[in-house]
Amino acid sequence: MRQVLNINTDWQFTPRDEPLAQFEGAKLEFERVSLPHSNMLLPHNNFSETEYCFVSWYRRDIFVPLENMGQRVFVDFDGVMIAAQVFVNGVAVEGEHRGGFTPFSRDITEFVRFGAVNLLSVRVDSTERADIPPFGGLVDYLCFGGIYRDVFLRFSDHVFVDNMATLTGQILESEKSLVVNARVVNTNSAPATMTAQANLYDTDTLIASQKIQITLEPGCDTAAYFQFQHLNVSLWELEHPKLYKLEVQLQNGDALSTQVGFRSAEFREDGAFYLNGKALKLRGLNRHQSFPYIGMAAPARLQRKDAEIIKFDLACNIVRTSHYPQSPHFLNHCDEVGLLVLEEIPGWQHIGDTAWQEVSKLELRAMIERDRNHPSIIMWGVRINESPDDHDFYSATNQLAHELDPSRATGGIRCFHGSELLEDVYTMNDFQYDLGTPDAKKYLVTEYGGHMYPTKTFDQEERVVKHMLHHAHILEQVYSMPIFGGIGWSAFDYNTHAQFGSGDRICYHGVMDIFRQPKLIAALYASQLEVSERVVLEPMTYWTRGDLDEGRISPLWICSNCDRVDVLVDGINLGAARRLERFSHLLNPPFVMDHIPGGWGQHFGELEVLGYSGGVLVERKKIAADGVPVKLEAQLDDDQINADGADMTRLSLQATDQYGNIQPFAFDVVNLEVSGPAVIVGPNPVALIGGRVSVFVKATTDAGTIRIRAKTARLAAKPLTLHSAALEEIRLLELSR
């Protein structure tokens, strides 16, 4: 039997390079931590990478039961930033692992004492090592440090299933097919013969099964190959992302399972992308996996939330994991919510020497072997983002990607025209206001916007509006050109190095801010939904008398998926706003009211917009005209978290008018009072930034009820309650992955 135990809790951590940490009994000071863990908590801006670029040590006792004697013992790391050396009982296990974005395992069988407690320790080098991608040149993002993803202890037989690749076929026929290619490893010095069975489940119901005989030479691996025909299964579609479970089980009880989705994804010569045979224009945003305060050490809950935000709040059908493989929790949830993914290898413009390129190829292999069963992933990015052409390096990465996964298209993200096309699709970062002529029939814009128009939530209204119009202008071209689609830069603001950003180490390129709170432009993306999915009606204004140049209050822009929007000022209906014809290829172009009477020093009243669909009033929205915040809104994303010492949920704070509109120039200080088993991650008291801010509420390892109160000098939010669920429930859960 295979046993996989989550060992995220009960780690000891020291932020110093203490080689003695690998030995039991060393007299050192440790902090007790849970994973995912950032080697340093940071402010949300105004910090330097030097603060977290250091070597630290993590260690943990692991009990290896006597009854597991005769089995193999592994430790599986989902991600350690950026190099790791593993020790067991003071002995180094293999060499250093290089690369922070892909998983690695260590076979510790020969290093452990069975029936005893063993000391597992990890030296974590989080410096910007020039020998490991993305480093060696300048990089417009931060990687942070620590054991920032999950760690598992795995017991298995000496013959075990190591990895598998699934290929779905005949997607458009009523009876579909599935090929499974599992890699089975024999670590014994004797040959082995046994049966291997592949089982396909719809939830818990077995719907197909196949058994074969496999023979393994000593110390070798072999492929267990299964071919299912005539499967009566549903398609994985964006609206109904139906998933099945595929398990490969060996006679000795070892088993590995994966999610499977039946879908086809084709980038055709006609310049259109087809999902399950239907043309789909790809509309998406790039995502960095970094968060305020915690860097990249975000637990599963925050990873999943990002997938939901990009799919549902921002109405995207694709996300690019710029510029590295991202959390398995994020990708699993992309499968679950129906969000397509372009995933790429770590890097940024710089290509290192041959040794560096070898690390990059290992990362490519690890990325594809980890992720090739995700139906959401439709393309591999096999170049270092925006690097120059390099025939040999990129011929090799492209070939490797096709060998490991014959089913998916490759792209290689560049930022110049006329590059040598080695991949299936010419993928291009095009920051021009008017997109350039496509270099190939198969062409996808993988970045636009970004540094051409950095915009903060509290920027002056004219800039905020122009930000929206800039993206609308590019989306219009994406929709009118024969190209697969466009993926804008970027979903969220992100921390960066001094050579980039707004001087406070943030690139304000997001459609949402670093806390994942929407800027006004977010409504442009959301309004591309059908009104039947969700009504969107958002005036692009702070509605002030004197903040626009010359005391104007018009033109007034409105993003909406309604078919008519009426504008009322001070209760007087000024009539319908007009659709912006120049954006006629958008599903729902923005509206504009060109002239609203009134000016500097004149009477000023409330704004109201009414949204109609098919002649029926479906939404109305008011904005107060007096600029006085009357409410402090405090909101948690979840009502329950896990008492594992690392799980957390976002607490969003907003100063609003009586109608719930954020007051963009409120910078009040909010005091947070927390009682119960939780801590605030982020400052407390915390200052609003343009009327809003977020912190995280993190569980301790005690279960119970958490109560939160938030107040400014003048306003108090409604008290909040959060439940933290007992650790036993999680610890006893045997995770089968």
**Minimum distance from residue 506 beta carbon to ligand GAL (Å):** 12
**Minimum distance from residue 345 beta carbon to ligand GAL (Å):** 13
Structure tokens at 139: 């990089």
CA–CA dist 591, 575 (Å, integer) = 12
Residue list 501-530, contact with ligand GAL (CB under 6 A) = 509
Q: Which of 247, 343, 369, 386 is labelled catalytic?
A: 386
Residue pair 252/184 in contact (Cβ under 8 Å)? The answer is no
3-state secondary structure 529-566: CCCCCCCCEEECCCCCCCCCHHHCCCCEEEEECCCEEE
Return the exposure string of 621-643: e unless at least 16 CB atoms fall within 10 Å of the residue's CB, then b.
bbbbbebebebbbbebbeeebbb
| Closer to ligand GAL by Cβ: residue 510 or 645 | 510
140 binds ligand GAL (CB under 6 A): yes
CA–CA dist 7, 35 (Å, integer) = 8
Q: Is 619 a catalytic residue?
A: no
- For the chain, the 3-state helix, strand and coil shares in percent, each to the nearest 5, are 15, 40, 45
| Closer to ligand GAL by Cβ: residue 519 or 698 | 519
Structure tokens at 25: 């009994």
| Closer to ligand GAL by Cβ: residue 187 or 429 | 429
CA–CA dist 263, 265 (Å, integer) = 7
Each residue 405-444 as x (binds ligand GAL by CB under 6 A) or -, in order, gives ----------x-------------x---------------
**Minimum distance from residue 590 beta carbon to ligand GAL (Å):** 23
CA–CA dist 157, 402 (Å, integer) = 31
The backbone torsions φ and ψ at residue 371, rounded to the nearest 5 degrees and listed phi first, read: -115, 5
| Closer to ligand GAL by Cβ: residue 140 or 369 | 140
Tokens 């496999």 map to which residue?
214
Residue pair 266/250 in contact (Cβ under 8 Å)? The answer is no
CA–CA dist 416, 71 (Å, integer) = 53
| Closer to ligand GAL by Cβ: residue 176 or 414 | 414
**Minimum distance from residue 248 beta carbon to ligand GAL (Å):** 38
**Minimum distance from residue 140 beta carbon to ligand GAL (Å):** 4
Peptide bond into 490 cis (omega under 30): yes
**Minimum distance from residue 435 beta carbon to ligand GAL (Å):** 15
Residue pair 198/247 in contact (Cβ under 8 Å)? The answer is yes
Query: What SS3 state is found at 577?
Result: coil
Sheet of strand 31-33: strand arrangement: 31-33, 11-14, 55-64, 116-125, 83-88, 91-98
Phi-psi region of 70 (alpha: psi -120 to 50; beta: other; left: phi over 0): left
**Minimum distance from residue 386 beta carbon to ligand GAL (Å):** 5
Q: Which of 144, 489, 492, 612 binds ligand GAL (CB under 6 A)?
A: 489
Residue list 532-571, contact with ligand GAL (CB under 6 A) = none
Q: Fill in the DSSP letter of residue 517.
A: P
Q: Which of 344, 447, 476, 619 is labelled catalytic?
A: 447
Q: Give the CA dihedral 407, 412, 418, 421, nearest 10 degrees.
A: -30
Contacts of 25 (CB under 8 A, 6+ apart): none
Query: What SS3 state is found at 85?
Result: strand
| Closer to ligand GAL by Cβ: residue 142 or 171 | 142
**Minimum distance from residue 236 beta carbon to ligand GAL (Å):** 30
Residue pair 720/638 in contact (Cβ under 8 Å)? The answer is no
Of 45-53, 70-78, 178-186, 446-454, which part binds ligand GAL (CB under 6 A)? 446-454
| Closer to ligand GAL by Cβ: residue 429 or 694 | 429
| Closer to ligand GAL by Cβ: residue 261 or 454 | 454
**Minimum distance from residue 377 beta carbon to ligand GAL (Å):** 20
Residue whose beta carbon is closest to ligand GAL:
450
CA–CA dist 141, 284 (Å, integer) = 20
| Closer to ligand GAL by Cβ: residue 37 or 323 | 323
| Closer to ligand GAL by Cβ: residue 289 or 385 | 385
**Minimum distance from residue 660 beta carbon to ligand GAL (Å):** 32
CA–CA dist 187, 239 (Å, integer) = 44
Instruction: Give the total of residues touching ligand GAL (CB under 6 A).
Output: 10
| Closer to ligand GAL by Cβ: residue 288 or 408 | 288
Of 175-183, 362-370, 445-453, 557-565, which part binds ligand GAL (CB under 6 A)? 445-453
497 binds ligand GAL (CB under 6 A): no
Q: Is 217 a catalytic residue?
A: no
Q: Which residues in 415-552 belong to E strands, given as ranges?
A: 425-429, 443-447, 485-488, 494-495, 506-507, 537-539
**Minimum distance from residue 478 beta carbon to ligand GAL (Å):** 17
Query: What SS3 state is found at 237?
Result: coil
Q: Helix 391-404 crosses helix 354-371 at what angle (to 10 degrees)?
A: 20
Each residue 447-476 as x (binds ligand GAL by CB under 6 A) or -, in order, gives x--xx-------------------------
Each residue 375-394 as x (binds ligand GAL by CB under 6 A) or -, in order, gives ----------xx--------
Residue list 590-649, contact with ligand GAL (CB under 6 A) = none
CA–CA dist 694, 682 (Å, integer) = 8
Tokens 């806390």 map to which residue?
515
Q: How many CB atoms lie within 10 A of CB 184?
A: 24
Residues catalogued as catalytic: 386, 447
Which residues are at the interface with ligand GAL (CB under 6 A)? 140, 385-386, 415, 429, 447, 450-451, 489, 509
